[in-house]
Structure 1
Amino acid sequence: MISILPFSPEDYEDAMALWKDSPGIGLSQADSLEAITEFLERNPGLNWVAKLNKQLVGTLLCGYDGRRAYLYHLAVHPEYRRQGIGRALVERCLERLKEMRVEKAHLFVYADNQEAVAFWKATGWYPRPELIIMSFNVS
Structure 2
Amino acid sequence: MTPQIIKLNSRDIKRFTELIRLFEDVFEMKNLVMPSAIHLQKVLSEETFLSFVAVHDNKIVGGLTCYILPAYYVTSSSVYVFDLAVLPAFQRKGIGRMLIESVKEYSKNLGYKEVFLQTEVEDQHAIDFYRATEGFEEQTVLFSYPLINKFQIFRFVISKYGNSHCTDD
Q: Per the shorter chain, which TM-score range?
A: 0.7 to 0.9
1:9 equivalent in structure 2: 13
Shift of 1:40: 2.4
Shift of 1:45: 8.2
SS across alignment from 2:101: helix
Contact 1:51/1:58 (8 A) holds in 2: yes
Shift of 1:66: 1.4
2:167 equivalent in structure 1: none
1:90 equivalent in structure 2: 100
2:91 equivalent in structure 1: 81
Distance 1:16 1:45 in 2: 15
Q: Residue by residue, what CA displacement relative to the aligned partner does 1:4-43 show, whole Å, maximum 9, x if unpaired?
A: 1122322133212211221388xx89x8455554332224
Structure 1's consecutive aligned runs of 4 or more residues displaced over 6 angstroms after TM superposition are none
Instruction: Letter of the 1:136 partner, please give it.
Output: Y
1:57 equivalent in structure 2: 61
Task: Give the one of 126, 134, 138 matched to 2:143.
Answer: 134
SS across alignment from 2:50: coil
Contact 1:24/1:113 (8 A) holds in 2: no
Distance 1:85 1:52 in 2: 10
Backbone CA RMSD of aligned residues: 2.5
Distance 2:44 2:137 in 1: 27
1:20-31 to 2 correspondence within 5 Å?
20-23=24-27
1:119 equivalent in structure 2: 129
Shift of 1:137: 3.0
Identity in percent: 24
Distance 1:91 1:43 in 2: 20
Instruction: Letter of the 1:65 partner, please give it.
Output: L
Distance 1:32 1:125 in 2: 33
Distance 1:92 1:2 in 2: 12
Distance 2:40 2:13 in 1: 8
- Contiguous gaps of at least 5 residues in structure 2: 72-77, 149-169
Larger Rg, first or second structure (1 or 2): 2
TM-score (norm 2): 0.69
TM-score (norm 1): 0.82
Count of residue correspondences: 135
